[in-house]
Structure 1
């Protein structure tokens, strides 16, 4: 019992020292050495936080991040809004907790993935039965007198070149699932990406050129692809709001450039946010959303 009390006192003093390293008087200063768990725990109480990080040249770089989070409000969580080309943080955005920080249901993810993959099956498999194969229907040998087994047509399944017994025929593999279950699976998929720090929020997906090498240099600079094998699968999925910007002609070109540039890079996909699938989100390692797509997902998946 005495040893347990000593360990408890040691833990309490260590936690007290870590707590004193964070100053919440006025603008809070959270150093890069502070653990990510403590930083996230105090994120909802920070109004204006100068984030200090160490650059490569050992100089101190300060980013003034401002956000308006109501104190005591637990319906949102905070995430970085990054620059697409440099992957550097630009601001902090509040995202819905019921969409991006909900319980991850593995059983629901399994049901939704099976449902989506079943819907993609063509079901065009076809085999020829005894009435479909080519050949005569005459009796192949006399019934009696041969000393052998009775035989009929050579189109029977047990003959070489005969039909297939109980073979697959064209059919639909579509299964049914409730809409609420599918929406729950989408929330779980987004929450899993957010929990693994694989959800990347960018201000826009503006790409100046449709050249593949320009997008490839951005992906390599942001470390979204494998550095050892540049031609290997990077597993990046872009989810822009394509249909949302149809009424804005000035923004159509940037999505057109992104669509053309990503086609020659293995493992990099682009899908309209309104057509997103749970299977595609889980298959790719990184999920990149712009602000329009983020607003659409929060409107669609928000739980009151």
Structure 2
């Protein structure tokens, strides 16, 4: 698959040949759903357990007579009805983890990249150099490219410093290195922007 390469000023910068094994896979909704669900489950923080009656550090001594005191018959102050007592039926400590076959994860990423290429929402840039790292300059350049409401920009091994500085104040633009490319972030952005270096790293990631 051949795609036109552009500069940040929306000028033609030649063509690049995309590997059909990575960017030409027919997307399947069930695979994408499985990978996104796996990502979101593993993103959850562990649940903290509440202190129950046996965990509260209070005296276990019976503080009143069983009968004749004019109050209910309580055994100790650790009961949940007292201030400082243990919580009744509190949450248990849980770790939310899910496993997914490595081949399915790789296939999901290929399908996410392929879906952007198929829909025409994939833009390939020669590089991400921004003059003086100015946000105003970058905003004008991105306006010419027509990125839509949200855009995910993926660079090579290292992020372009000038682009990272200029895009830090743009809420609709997110920047990732090639190693951080994932299905959830690709699918939730309207446009995917890849540099030449990002394409090389992604293709090498699957061929390796």
Higher gyration radius (CA): 1
| Secondary structure of the corresponding residue to residue 264 of structure 1 | coil
Q: Name which of structure 1's ranges 150-159 and 265-274 shifts more when overlaid on structure 2.
A: 150-159
When residues 195 and 141 of structure 1 are mapped into structure 2, their CA distance, relative to the original with a 3 A threshold, is farther
Select the residue among 260, 270, 280 that pairs with 2:185: 280
Q: Which residue of 2 aligns with 1:237?
A: 152
Q: Following superposition of structure 1 onto structure 2, how do residues 13-92 of structure 1 map, counting pairs within 5 Å?
A: 77-86=1-10, 88-92=11-15
Q: Which residue of 2 aligns with 1:117?
A: 40
**Whole-Å Cα distance in 2 between the matches of residues 215 and 289 of structure 1?**
16
TM-score, with structure 1 as normaliser: 0.60
Q: Name which of structure 1's ranges 274-283 and 129-138 shifts more when overlaid on structure 2.
A: 129-138
- Greater RCO structure (CA 8 Å; 6+ sep): 2
TM-score, with structure 2 as normaliser: 0.85
**Whole-Å Cα distance in 1 between the matches of residues 198 and 181 of structure 2?**
11
Aligned length: 208
State the Cα distance separating 1:289 from its structure 2 match. Answer: 0.5
| Secondary structure of the corresponding residue to residue 18 of structure 2 | strand
**Whole-Å Cα distance in 2 between the matches of residues 95 and 271 of structure 1?**
20
**Whole-Å Cα distance in 2 between the matches of residues 147 and 125 of structure 1?**
39
**Whole-Å Cα distance in 2 between the matches of residues 109 and 140 of structure 1?**
60
Q: Say yes or no: does 1:263 pair with 2:168.
A: yes
State the Cα distance separating 1:203 from its structure 2 match. Answer: 1.5
When residues 141 and 110 of structure 1 are mapped into structure 2, their CA distance, relative to the original with a 3 A threshold, is farther
**Whole-Å Cα distance in 2 between the matches of residues 123 and 199 of structure 1?**
36
Q: Name which of structure 1's ranges 178-187 and 207-216 shifts more when overlaid on structure 2.
A: 207-216
Q: Name which of structure 1's ranges 134-143 and 193-202 shifts more when overlaid on structure 2.
A: 134-143
Query: What CA RMSD, in Å, does the superposition of the two structures yield over aligned residues?
Result: 2.6
Q: Which residue of 2 aligns with 1:95?
A: 18
Structure 1 portions without partners, runs of 5+ = 1-76, 226-233, 244-251
